[in-house]
A and B are shown apart, each in its own frame.
Chain A
Amino acid sequence: MRKDRSFLILVLLTAASLALTAADRRGFRETKVARNEIERLASVLSWRGSATLRGAGNRASRYLEIFKEKEKKVELKKQIKELEAEIIGLREVENQYDRLTALSDFESNLNRHEGIRPVPARITGVEMSNWHRTITIDRGAGDGVRAGAPVVAGGAAEGKAAGGIVGRVFDAGGKSSIVLLLTDHDSSVGGMIQRTRVHGIVRGTLSGRCVIEDISNTADVRKGDVVLSSGMGGTFPKGLIIGKVSAAGKRRDGFFQKIEVTPFVDISKTEEVIVLGGRDDDD
């Protein structure tokens, strides 16, 4: 009897899970609202959690230092450590300054040339499962972020401030948003080879890498070629850097080449992004 009941619970929970999946696929408003709220809470927790862990770690190591502090040598060592920490802190500030300057340069370029209103945002979390490639940012609909808006990150290419595509906003909550990365298998961006102006579609794959499709076997594509957004499809402005061709080869069984692209923006080393919220003329 007991065994039957646990099997019955399994059946009920399975039915509930499938019902939720069906509701979510149909885009029910209630499921979306609930997810946004949980996501917002998790963003705060992640941020506070990591800050608490950092704080606790720092405090523990400070107490250890005090207990070991018996001789002058130890005191001097501590001073050296403090100075080192200060240097590391200053380097961090310097790095942050460089990153923000690059972002700011890129942001003003966008403002001047494209009439696009950029929204700077900080990355607060990454995707939990291996099946999707997304990040969470700390800006949402309340800050002017819209679903579908392109997301870029600043960087330096050939000594100039440049913007590389990170992805597009998948879901904009009130105060946070989920960004679908370029490498996600649901992502596709119109791209072109900078050198030869050949157009194709850059897609993500399940393996977390990017490929460029629909480029014929006769087209001239080489390893190292820069891939830019073509502006086709209307989501991404033309000329943003997507990445570089890391492998190119002709397929024997088709008309199109097999081309792999390494994204320009390394998301594991990125902390801030810019959401291209909307064009000024939209207002």
Chain B
Amino acid sequence: MTTIKWAILVLAAAILQRSALLEVDVFGLSGVKPDLFLILVVVFSLYHGKRKGEVFGFLAGLLQDSLSSGYLGVNALAKTVVGYLGGSWRKQFFWRNLPAQVLLIFVFSIISDTIYALLNASAVLAQPGGLKDAAGLILASGAFSSIVSPLVFYAALKFDGSDEKTCWTEKKI
């Protein structure tokens, strides 16, 4: 049941991410959007551990690659690493409050985008001002993802029906 629920969430994220609804022009960059897949991978891995988290990250990243014009496997790798790292924090209690969740998404977004940029280093460095633009893009994407993350956290945890105690759920462990 959990698998079906999360598959539905990923599909919903894909539909949203493919629409122009979430695009904003910020810091001199145009059409920046939050990475909903990343937020879902982080939430999933925090709740289901690193083994499930990394597999979920790999599959979600693969889907993201398939729907993107970049090379196949790049997002899969980035999201696998995020799933593994996210799952490593499962037993820590500090992330169960809102500011920590927002900060975690920002950090994981930077990790994910840095992996993406490193795997596309030749294309990034070939651009005029490529390094500066890439850094701006990584920071803007991280900031935007962390701003929308509370909504995704809330929706995902309600949908998941998780029984763990967080700022979003009242039930005891």
Contacts and interface: CB of A to CB of B under 8 A. Distances in A.
Interface of A: 5-7, 9-10, 13-14, 16-25, 31, 34-35, 38-39, 42, 45-46, 49-50, 125-134, 136, 170-171, 178, 180, 183-186, 203, 205-209, 211, 213, 268
Contact of A19 (B35, B69, B73, B137): B73
A171 B71 contact: no
Contacts of A18: 73, 77
Nearest to A180: B69
A13 B17 CA distance: 24
A208 B29 contact: yes
Contacts of A186: 123
A247 B128 CA distance: 16
Given A17-B80, A35-B72, 7 more contacts: A6-B49, A9-B55, A17-B58, A23-B72, A125-B19, A129-B68, A129-B75
Interface stretch (B59-67, B97-105, B147-155, B157-165): B59-67
B127 A130 contact: no
Contacts of A50: 15, 19
Contact of A130 (B77, B130, B141): B141
B106 to A, nearest CB: 15
28 contacts: A7-B84, A10-B80, A10-B84, A13-B54, A13-B58, A13-B80, A18-B73, A21-B72, A23-B72, A24-B73, A25-B71, A35-B72, A45-B11, A50-B15, A125-B18, A125-B67, A127-B69, A128-B37, A129-B70, A130-B31, A130-B137, A130-B140, A131-B117, A180-B69, A206-B130, A206-B134, A207-B29, A268-B20
B14 interface: yes
B130 A10 contact: no
Nearest to B32: A130
B53 to A, nearest CB: 9
B41 interface: no
Contacts of B87: 6
A174 to B, nearest CB: 15
A6 B15 contact: no
